[in-house]
Amino acid sequence: MTKQSVKVKTSGAVLRTKSLRGIENCRVVEIGIGNFAECVQQGPSNCSHALPFGYCFLCMHPRVDDIIENTKKAQAVAQVIGQKNSNPASMKG
């Protein structure tokens, strides 16, 4: 099993890898207002970082930027897999 990580910018031009341990299964959607994101996980009421807001939950995790980035990567991978599965002719040689 490989460890998931995200590259983040530090104070200089150096990039370092930051572990996603504990947030690797979190998924959020940016709502376009400040640094807020809506949690799209089922049962977020069990999460200590989920803030009930109307009919949704906002993610108040201190690493919400990492969670947003991880969600975008997961969506891109799912889209590629979906395209391959929907076009079986492209897999024939």
* Per-residue pLDDT tens over the stretch 53-78: 899 999 999 999 999 999 999 888 88
Dihedrals φ, ψ of 80, to 5°? -65, -45
Q: Answer yes or no: are the C-beta atoms of 67 and 58 closer than 8 Å.
A: no
- DSSP-H helix ranges across 1-93: 64-86
Task: Tell me, yes or no, if the pTM score tops 0.75.
Answer: no
Residue 34: burial class (beta carbons within 10 Å; 0-12, 13-18, 19+):
exposed
pLDDT digits (tens, 9 = 90+) for 12-64: 444 445 555 678 889 999 988 888 899 998 878 788 899 998 999 999 999 99
